[in-house]
Structure 1
């Protein structure tokens, strides 16, 4: 009987010890993850500060810099970047894109998603079939400019178009449509680094 109790007590102690080890591992994981999130927030703050400092002389109506869902958004109005209904970048945009590119090049641990957005007014010409085409072509034009003129690594960039389907404001007014016509440069952590943060190390 005493032997049986001793075996049970030993097994119980081992079980408790394993549970404590698991709890300690989880606590350490949470601590590490919290630290990583704080570092990412610090990076976002540094990016926003550097971008706003670099672009301080740009009209506030033409550019917005903010953090949403843990990533940095740089929203550029179409009137600053392009002629109406065109995907050709104008001379005014060169200085702005150059300043954005410098900040991007100074931070190697990030990737860039460039998204084109339009209003709901239909467009069609010899080159552009609809707003899907226009939004993609504009995003591609910005990516190409960042690569060829400002030295941003193309492997870090992705271009995409949202057409009219992710508006910031109503398309029923002139001011709303103006807000919706924009190109967003979204600065995000590299995906492989992000997933490394989310998966605890295996022993």
Structure 2
């Protein structure tokens, strides 16, 4: 092979080698970029999976809470429906006494058909409080006196508290009543304590709290909310039972 040909061959081989090296450098650079991007996406994916797991745990907790609250609400609704269809066990004489009480106290309502008494929260409590107003004492005293007279002294009572749809916001109120369930129940409890002071034995009484879930008026005006804030007292015959409470099993 001539010297010139050898030079050309050697040059061609050199160019081929340079070309191959250049081709190999580009894929490796792109591969490094792709690997870095893959690592970034992997880290992002791990972060998203952790967030998803956290949200799934929160959802599971909320679902469990919803089921508990729904079960509680269903029980209270069933209890209230039973009370609403119960015929009043009061005699005509007792009905007349409650009717007279209704005339003298504008914030007190009495239904002679069912024997249900309704107390406006305005005459019993200050806003957001479960402490009875000082001027609520005489009304509850007379109410207790009627229930301790004659055949009415054999009857039982269920005190049920209701709130409006406004959530508890004030920190001072929230520390005592985290939500309307607590507020409605605490008000009922304090009414029971007051009735006990006036001679109604604890074995004759029960307590319920409905929060905002049993409104008298299905509106959100100030007047509707005023009507929905109330305490109801259901008068029950001695053998009546509500929400698993059977007065017949209670030792008097």
Task: Tell me the TM-score normalized by structure 2.
Answer: 0.56
- Corresponding residue for 2:176? 127
Which of structures 1 and 2 has the bigger CA Rg? 2
RMSD after superposition: 1.9
List aligned pairs for 1:1-203, cutoff 5 A.
Answer: 43-59=90-106, 62-68=107-113, 71-106=114-149, 107-124=152-169, 125-147=174-196, 149-191=197-239
Shift of 1:42: 7.5
Query: Which one has the bigger strand percentage?
Result: 1
User: Does the 8 Å contact 2:88/2:112 carry over to 1?
Assistant: no
Runs of 5+ consecutive residues of structure 2 not aligned to the other structure: 1-86, 242-252
Give the TM-score of the pair, scaled to structure 1: 0.68
Between the aligned partners of 1:58 and 1:174, the Cα distance in structure 2 is 22
Distance 1:192 1:130, change over 3 A: closer
8 Å Cα contact 1:44/1:67 also seen in 2: no
Q: How many residues align?
A: 149
User: Where in structure 1 are there 5+ consecutive unaligned residues?
Assistant: 1-39, 194-203
Provide Cα deviations, 1:117-175, integer angstroms capped at 9, x if missing partner: 0110001411110000000000000001111x201111000011011111100241111
Aligned CA distance change for structure 1 residues 50 and 85 (closer, same or farther; 3 Å): same
Query: Hey, which of these two has a bigger chunk of helix by percent?
Result: 2
> Greater relative contact order: 1 or 2 (C-alpha under 8 angstroms, separation 6 or more)?
1
**Which residue matches 2:3?**
none
Task: Check the 8 A contact 2:121/2:229 in 1, yes or no.
Answer: yes
C-alpha separation between the residues in 1 aligned to 2:175 and 2:90? 44
Distance 1:67 1:164 in 2: 25
Deviation at 1:44, TM superposition (A): 4.3
Q: CA deviation at 1:102?
A: 0.4
